[in-house]
Amino acid sequence: MLIPQLSAAESALCILLITMAQVVGQEDGEKTTALKDLLSRIDLDELMKKDEPPFTFPKTLEEFEYAFNEHGQLRHIKTGEPFIFNAREDLHRWNQKRYEALGEIITQYVYELLETKCNLTKAILPLDATVDEPFTFVYLSPNALSNASKLLVLIQGSGVVRAGQWARRLIINQDLDSGTQIPFITRAMEEGYSVMVLNPNENFLEVEKPYKSSTLPSQTEPLDEPAEKKERRDDKEGKKRREFYEKYRNPQKETETERIPIRENTSSEEHVLYVWDHFVSKAAAKNVFIVAHSYGGLSFVELHCCNWVSSPEPLDTPLDSMLPDCPRVSAGTERHELTSWMSFDSIFRFFSEVLEMKEDEEAEETSTNTVTTRSSSLKSKHQDL
């Protein structure tokens, strides 16, 4: 007879099943007591962890055995395959933690590209931050405050994405061009823009609290405990076991953390206002353009703009507008995270049209000495769209 080799956890579970089978023939009261006694001697926490790999992951792309190829696609160094989320079957929590660890490496990788490929530098926020307090930063081109012509401000959406990113999922599963702001930065610089890259999602410093063991409580029963009190205690311990199983089934942090807010940058909206007051408003640029993805656009919807939205319609097809001063057109994709990348050429074409329109206005004002409002001209232009 072939006897399969079992892991420690499987062996423990088999023992549990066999023992349960042995008590089936007993009376209900005896069976319940025997089962409770058995469960009290099993450390479920340790039992379940025996089959779950530790949450220790590589700290670099090389250690992960991944690299970006010449097309900006993330590929396995040995197999050439794209990133696989389900590296371990039936271990969703471990796979999720692995994905998050890779995401942190991607964030640092993009920062390096902003500094080396795009020649941007960090500006620490708040400006008067002390050495002991948490801080965030934005990225600026060398002429961000001095360029008297054009300034481009880039703002990503909400979530885990940081400065220079549109969507982590696109970076990992598609490529750097679609998932980062780098094509926007390089194109803008080629066309004479200065650039500011905001970082609205870094609003606090997360500090790990001391680890507390998640092992189940001791099952030692007090002597001479009243039956009613013992029953309540058993119910409470059963609830703790159920909560433990829920913790195992769902991906979540192993350790508790506390968040220390970053002064004057405690939210996306506060960050954008801080950068506007301390950088954008002080820039020499005569013309300021903003590309804001998803939630990043909420702070600017009242300005005159064009909103590329996810839609099955062809790129730039006019759509019904939610706001009268912000016309909506199709981004040519139904995937929300791709809207900024798919609209790339249209966005810069829109900027050029606005600049030409403004130059025409100024020339007309000079020649006729009449004043034409920017608002009315833009509304007319959008109506033509």
pLDDT tens digits, one per residue of 106-136: 999 999 999 999 999 999 999 999 999 999 9
User: Model confidence at 36, in pLDDT bands (50, 70, 90)?
Assistant: low
Distance CA 384, CA 262 (A): 45
Q: What is the CA radius of gyration of the chain?
A: 29
User: Model confidence at 256, in pLDDT bands (50, 70, 90)?
Assistant: confident
pLDDT of 241 reads: 65
Residues 6+ apart with CB under 8 A from 342: 308, 315, 331, 332, 333
Residue 213 has pLDDT above 90, yes or no: no
| Count of beta carbons in the 10 Å neighbourhood of residue 20 | 13
Catalytic residue, candidates 294, 299, 330, 340: 294
pLDDT of 57 reads: 94
| pLDDT greater at residue 363 or residue 381 | 363
User: Model confidence at 246, in pLDDT bands (50, 70, 90)?
Assistant: low
pLDDT of 364 reads: 73
- Alpha-carbon distances, residue 270 vs 2, 117, 135, 240, 291 (angstroms): 66, 29, 14, 40, 18
User: Model confidence at 353, in pLDDT bands (50, 70, 90)?
Assistant: confident
Residue 18 has pLDDT above 50, yes or no: no
pLDDT of 81 reads: 96
Burial of 166 (0-12, 13-18, 19+ CB in 10 A): buried
Q: Which of 248-262, 342-356, 365-379 is predicted most confidently?
A: 342-356
| pLDDT greater at residue 6 or residue 352 | 352
Q: Are 195 and 140 in contact (CB under 8 A)?
A: yes
| pLDDT greater at residue 104 or residue 235 | 104
| pLDDT greater at residue 323 or residue 179 | 179
Q: What is the mean pLDDT of the chain?
A: 79
Q: Are 274 and 264 in contact (CB under 8 A)?
A: yes
| pLDDT greater at residue 326 or residue 189 | 189
Burial annotation 220-237 (CB, 10 A radius, 16+ → b, else e) = eeeeeeeeeeeeeeeeeb
pLDDT tens digits, one per residue of 170-196: 999 999 999 999 999 999 999 999 999
| pLDDT greater at residue 34 or residue 341 | 341
User: Model confidence at 2, in pLDDT bands (50, 70, 90)?
Assistant: very low
- Any catalytic annotation for residue 330? no
| pLDDT greater at residue 245 or residue 207 | 207
Tokens linked to 204: 């606090």
Q: Of all residues in the chain, what percent carry a pLDDT higher than 70?
A: 68
pLDDT of 137 reads: 98
**Nearest residue to 288 via CA among 140, 153, 147:** 153
pLDDT of 238 reads: 67
pLDDT of 3 reads: 41
pLDDT tens digits, one per residue of 69-87: 999 999 999 999 999 999 9
